[in-house]
Amino acid sequence: MDLSAISPALLLASLMIGATPLLLAALGELVVERAGVLNLGVEGMMILGAICGFAMAVETGSPPLGFLAGAVGGALLSLVFAVLTQIFLANQVATGLALTLFGLGLSSLLGQGYVGIKPPSTARLDLGPLSDIPLLGRAFFSHDWMVYLSLFLTLATWFFLSRTRAGLKLRAIGENHEAAHALGLHVVAIRFAAIAFGGAMAGLGGAYLSLVRVPQWTEGMTAGAGWIALAIVVFASWRPGRVLLGAYLFGGVTVLQLNLQAAGSALPVEYLSMSPYVVTILVLVLISARRSRGTAAPASLGKPFHAVS
Amino acid sequence: MLRRTLLGAAATTLALSTGAFAQDEPTKVGFVYVGPVGDGGWTYEHEQGRLAVEEAFGDQVETVFQESVPEGADAERVMTQMALSGADLIFTTSFGYMDPTINVAQKFPDVKFEHATGYKTADNVANYSARFYEGRMVQGHIAGKMTETNKIGYIASFPIPEVIRGINASFLAAKAVNPDVEFNVVWAFTWFDPAKESDAARALIEQGADVILQHTDSTAPQAAAADAGDVITFGQASDMSEYAPMPRVSSIIDNWGPYYVERVGQVMEGTWEPHSIWYGIDEGMVKIGEISDAVPEEVKAEALAMRDAIAAGELHPFTGPINRQDGTEWLAEGETADDGTLLGMDFYVEGLTGDIPN
């Protein structure tokens, strides 16, 4: 085994890139679920964001416009879900699953003309002297701006949920929508906003896959990333900080195990291959189990809401 | 209860109608795919085969397909569905569909099944595969000649004989022209996951590989190599010519169309028989994609000569002396591998490092 072949700086750098799509999608879903809505269509919104972002970036030559288009695409798709579940009170689980299938189909239709094209490259954020620090510079301070935006959004989500009045309202609706409604909160309107935010974030995550991480458009390219994002939200017990940890653990161990394999590690490949799932679940469950205060899930999660008065 | 009766009635009607109107109704052919038809690799080529069938028979044939079908219980459901809806012939196009195909075939003795790259057959199940390892030998030769770091990265999918054969064949060919060559194999445990395939390619490149061979289905490793610069790749299953001339310098193309057309024709004529075939470069099921200008002229000429020699039966990728990884003898001087051993290959040849996961 030749572990010296693995460069820690490059490893950390690919870890951050690998984790970003998951982090974005999981953060979005976290807000949706904190508002009491279960949207299982993350995979569908991600892949639609991937093709919308890719197509826009290729057509305009501008990655920022591409990311914007990815977010808009994901948000528009999520509004289909919002209308069906919040206005027509359709079953959230079934609608979410349908959304995934619809997103996969729609994206391959939209993507017909974009196979085999190279997208414009996303600019690295110039952090000046920070990028020149040995090791740390390459690992943490030489990424594209989306990586830093995703970290900022984690912080912003945490702040919004736990430190603002609007965040408190959103959480109240997620815990007990009947009571929130009695207090005069606009349950449906706030849930619409949360669902759209979730869609936009999933779309951003998808666009990051097709514009930076792979980078290309291929049908079905999310290959289950949306489901992993959903799982991370649950194992992170609906907290932004733990979602960050979960996404980085999963992304990190995935990249690490591939590197270990490439370096000819003596560890059996079967164990390496399952390690991202095992490590992520184990760590997050242990953290969440430390102080058991009943279930962390929002109490109204997935329940339909119909204002009677 | 009512539902069951209805289903039974529907099945009877279906059986009657297919019997009575066999002459007039188009032959229905189903295809089960492991990835999306737009993967640019494996499934894309099977889809080309389906289109060739439609082209050849026009109105006489009706085709249906289902993409991204997981290997396992889901596959059985999809095949059962196709058989129930009147398919006469079903192509199941991935190794992992082998047992599901056999199971479903037992329930529908009147439906013909064709399973790709497996080894089981039955009265109504044929097995077909291509000798991809012949193409792997040509790739290995080019890779061994062109690598400067002497490190070749290999993105493998699942530890099944087909994949192991490919690793062995390309390694032997590379080693023959470059004794210092080293293979780093990464098992992705997926046929199709662009992000993971791309990560695997990047990990290999970061550790010094300047040639990436892949046995997964998407073009993501090609994109990762293009991003990295000075790295060469080979198209897998499909030409992947959108990445030519660099990084993709050549490819193995799976050409299923002629076989599919032939077998559908036999079902129409009633001459279909189960068999187990394994076609290579000679029969045209394996093709070597155009070798790009990034490859030096003489290497290109050698590779083409090698391809022709394999097609003519003068050259076999597994010709002794070859030892197994543990040093025991597998093939003596001048001996060539028999198909039985190749079909069940579960060992590395001498010189490869690492273990095959099981």
Q: Give percent of chain A above pLDDT 70.
A: 96
pLDDT for residue A262 is more than 60: yes
Residue B14's pLDDT is: 45
- Paired tokens of A191: 């849930």
For the beta carbon of residue B355, count every other beta carbon within 10 angstroms: 14
> Average pLDDT, whole number, for chain A?
89
Instruction: Give chain A's domain count.
Output: 1
Phi, then psi, of B319 in degrees rounded to 5: -115, 130
Task: Look at A18 and B39 and tell me if their CB atoms are within 8 Å.
Answer: no
Cβ-based burial of B33 (10 A; exposed 0-12, middle 13-18, buried ≥19): buried
For the beta carbon of residue A71, count every other beta carbon within 10 angstroms: 26
Asked if B70 reaches chain A (Cβ–Cβ under 8 Å), the answer is no
Looking at this protein, which amino acid is placed at residue A227?
W
Tens digits of residue pLDDT in B40-95 = 889 999 999 999 999 999 999 999 999 989 998 899 999 999 999 999 999 999 99
Question: Which residue would you say has higher pLDDT here, A129 or A196?
Answer: A196
User: Could you tell me if A26 and A233 are in contact, meaning their C-beta atoms sit under 8 angstroms apart?
Assistant: yes
Q: What is the mean pLDDT of residues A266-292?
A: 80
Its domain, for residue A56, covers: 3-289
Task: Look at B207 and A6 and tell me if their CB atoms are within 8 Å.
Answer: yes
Closest CA to B139 of B250, B305, B295, B294: B250
pLDDT for residue A75 is more than 50: yes
- For residue B39, give the nearest of A7, A218, A273 by CB distance: A218
Interface test with A, best of B160, B163, B183, B198 (most A CBs within 10 A): B198
Tens digits of residue pLDDT in A147-157 = 999 999 999 99
For residue A224, list chain B residues with Cβ-Cβ distance below 8 A. 193
How wide is the angle at C-alpha A248 spanned by C-alphas A242 and A254, nearest 5°? Answer: 135
Q: Token pair 């289950």 is at which residue? A: A224
* CA–CA dist B222, B233 (Å, integer): 6
Residue B138's pLDDT is: 95
Rounded alpha-carbon distances, angstroms, from residue A35 to A3, A32, A199, A235: 46, 5, 14, 17
Cβ-based burial of B230 (10 A; exposed 0-12, middle 13-18, buried ≥19): exposed
* CA–CA dist A157, A29 (Å, integer): 11
- For residue B198, give the nearest of A5, A118, A213 by CB distance: A213
Question: Which residue would you say has higher pLDDT here, B15 or B229?
Answer: B229
* CA–CA dist B78, B104 (Å, integer): 10
Domain membership of residue A307 (yes or no) is: no
Asked if B196 reaches chain A (Cβ–Cβ under 8 Å), the answer is yes
Residue B9's pLDDT is: 45
Interfacial B residues in 107-166 facing A (CB < 8 Å): 153
Q: What is the mean pLDDT of residues A138-142?
A: 79
The residues, ordered by sequence, that sit 6+ positions from B81 with a Cβ below 8 Å of its Cβ are: none
Looking at domain B2-131+256-279, which CATH architecture does it have? 3-Layer(aba) Sandwich (3.40)
Domain membership of residue A120 (yes or no) is: yes
CATH number of B132-252+286-343: 3.40.50.2300
Asked if B235 reaches chain A (Cβ–Cβ under 8 Å), the answer is no
Question: Which residue would you say has higher pLDDT here, A121 or A72?
Answer: A72
* CA–CA dist B57, B260 (Å, integer): 11
Domain membership of residue A95 (yes or no) is: yes
Residue B257's pLDDT is: 94
pLDDT for residue A80 is more than 50: yes
Domain ranges of chain B: 2-131+256-279, 132-252+286-343
The residues, ordered by sequence, that sit 6+ positions from B179 with a Cβ below 8 Å of its Cβ are: none
pLDDT for residue B101 is more than 80: yes
Residue A32's pLDDT is: 97
- Do domains B2-131+256-279 and B132-252+286-343 share one topology? The answer is yes
For the beta carbon of residue B177, count every other beta carbon within 10 angstroms: 16
For residue A117, list chain B residues with Cβ-Cβ distance below 8 A. 242
Residue A279's pLDDT is: 87
pLDDT for residue A253 is more than 50: yes
pLDDT for residue B190 is more than 70: yes
Task: Look at B195 and A223 and tell me if their CB atoms are within 8 Å.
Answer: yes
Tens digits of residue pLDDT in B4-45 = 444 444 444 444 444 444 456 899 999 999 988 888 889 999
* CA–CA dist B294, A28 (Å, integer): 45
How many CB pairs (< 8 A) connect A and B? 117
* CA–CA dist B157, A5 (Å, integer): 23
ipTM surpassing 0.90:
no
For residue B188, list chain A residues with Cβ-Cβ distance below 8 A. 258
Tens digits of residue pLDDT in A176-195 = 999 999 999 999 999 999 99
Q: Name the DSSP letter for residue B319.
A: B
End-to-end Cα spacing for chain B = 45
Q: What is the CA radius of gyration of chain A?
A: 20
User: Could you tell me if B236 and B214 are in contact, meaning their C-beta atoms sit under 8 angstroms apart?
Assistant: yes
Lowest mean pLDDT among A11-25, A281-295, B49-63: A281-295
What is the pLDDT confidence band of residue A140, given thresholds at 50, 70 and 90?
Answer: confident
Q: What 3-state class would DSSP assign to B182?
A: strand
In sequence order, what DSSP letters do the residues of A43-88 get, joined into one string? HHHHHHHHHHHHHHHHHHS-HHHHHHHHHHHHHHHHHHHHIIIIIS
Give the long-range contacts of residues B236-242, CB within 8 A, separation 24 or more.
B236/B41, B236/B42, B237/B41, B237/B42, B237/B44, B237/B45, B238/B40, B238/B41, B238/B42, B238/B44, B238/B45, B239/B289, B239/B290, B240/A116, B240/B40, B240/B41, B240/B289, B241/B289, B241/B290, B242/A115, B242/A116, B242/A117, B242/B40
Residue A118's pLDDT is: 82
Interface test with A, best of B196, B213, B241 (most A CBs within 10 A): B196
- For residue B68, give the nearest of A21, A218, A220 by CB distance: A220
Asked if A175 reaches chain B (Cβ–Cβ under 8 Å), the answer is no
Asked if B193 reaches chain A (Cβ–Cβ under 8 Å), the answer is yes
Q: What 3-state class would DSSP assign to A276?
A: helix
Task: Look at B186 and A5 and tell me if their CB atoms are within 8 Å.
Answer: no
Q: What 3-state class would DSSP assign to B234?
A: strand
Task: Look at A264 and B226 and tell me if their CB atoms are within 8 Å.
Answer: no
Which ranges of B151-296 does DSSP label H, i.e. alpha helix?
161-177, 194-206, 220-228, 257-269
Residue A132's pLDDT is: 77
Residue A135's pLDDT is: 74
pLDDT for residue A263 is more than 80: yes
Tens digits of residue pLDDT in A155-168 = 999 999 999 999 99
Residue B15's pLDDT is: 45
Task: Look at A221 and B198 and tell me if their CB atoms are within 8 Å.
Answer: no
Residue B329's pLDDT is: 93
- Paired tokens of A184: 């005069």
Question: Which residue would you say has higher pLDDT here, B358 or B152?
Answer: B152
Looking at this protein, which amino acid is placed at residue B12?
T
pLDDT for residue B225 is more than 80: yes
Distance of CA B62 to the CA centre of its chain: 25
CATH number at residue A181: 1.10.3470
- Paired tokens of B234: 């080979």
Cis peptide, bond prior to residue B321, ω within 30 of zero = yes
